[in-house]
């Protein structure tokens, strides 16, 4: 889906509601749960917004913008940090 999240989306039943859990691909996620949980009854639009919001929070605006533009800098999750750090110098 996005390079910011792992491919294996976990399906969880939480209080009777089906939810999908997207695991953050950072080694050290900045959120408490380590990913984004989304309930199936919510619109896809909010899911995408939540995923991007989380990606920007964990990886930074710069890395997300590079991905949106389709540049190959973020094909490996580990490369994000080195390329991002390089730009700040």
Under the phi-then-psi rule, with left for phi > 0, alpha for psi from -120 to 50, and beta for the rest, what region is 34?
Answer: left
Report which secondary-structure segment, H or E, holds 77.
helix 77-87
CB of 58 to Zn ion, least distance (A): 3
- Within 50-69, the residues that bind Zn ion by CB under 5 A are 58
Of the candidate residues 20, 21, 23, 29, the single one contacting Zn ion (CB under 5 A): 29
Report which secondary-structure segment, H or E, holds 5.
none
Residue 24 binds to Zn ion (criterion: CB under 5 A): yes
CB of 22 to Zn ion, least distance (A): 9
Residue with tokens 């294996």: 8
Chain residue at closest Cβ approach to Zn ion: 24
């Amino acid at each position: 889906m996005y390079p910011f999240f792992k491919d294996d989306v976990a399906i969880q039943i939480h209080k009777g509601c089906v939810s999908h859990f997207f695991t953050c691909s950072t080694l050290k996620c900045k959120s408490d749960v380590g990913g984004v949980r989304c309930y199936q009854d919510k619109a896809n639009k909010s899911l995408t917004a939540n995923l991007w919001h989380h990606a920007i929070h964990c990886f930074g605006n710069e890395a997300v913008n590079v991905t949106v533009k389709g540049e190959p800098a973020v094909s490996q999750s580990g490369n994000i940090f080195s390329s991002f750090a390089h730009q700040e110098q």
